[in-house]
Amino acid sequence: MGKQIIPVHEDANELHFDKGQFGALFSIDAYHYFATKKGFFEEKILPFLSDKAVVLIGVPGIKDEFTGRSEELLSDWLGDEAYMFQSPSTWREIIGNNDRIEAIETWKMECFDSAWNEWFATEHKYALGDKQFFDKLIKPYTCFVGIYIKLK
């Protein structure tokens, strides 16, 4: 599969690919930085996906019961980047509806504790900064959101 996988490091607002070029898209811990506005997927990503393509996205988010409250609850930790944390149900709305989309599923991923423990074990300066907020803000309010999109 090595020759079929194309890693991309490019501005998602100005992609330079052929229309319908990709049969799959995987994004881990990046999509929330540039795609929180409704219509982004339809305008900026969908044109480059072929029919029957599959999209899998993993992003940090806020639990459904706190939908719309990320800035209020997470600003002490994230500052002005708190808006990026969206709930699974909100991500479903942000992806939107398009005639080419067959299915959209969003869910709270089960890897939360293990992923945070691995992050803290790195002892990276950002990990150490996050650790001070874990029990008070991160664990009670946030989750990792999985997004699955299947095209017709």
Beta strands in the chain (DSSP E): 22-28, 49-62, 101-108, 142-151
> Residue 79: which domain range?
21-110+141-151
How buried is residue 80: exposed, middle or buried, by Cβ count under 10 Å (0-12/13-18/19+)? exposed
Residue 119 lies in a domain: no
- Quick one: pLDDT band at residue 2, thresholds 50, 70, 90? confident
Task: Tell me if 122 is assigned to some domain.
Answer: no
134 belongs to a structural domain: no
Total domain count for the chain?
1
3-class SS of residue 112: helix
Question: pLDDT at position 102, please?
Answer: 97
* Residue 6 confidence class, pLDDT cut points 50, 70, 90: confident
pLDDT at 5: 80
SS3 content of the chain, % helix, strand, coil (to 5): 45, 25, 30
Confidence of residue 3 (pLDDT cuts 50, 70, 90): confident
CATH number at residue 77: 3.40.50.150
**pTM score, two decimals?**
0.92
Beta bridge mates, 57:
27, 147
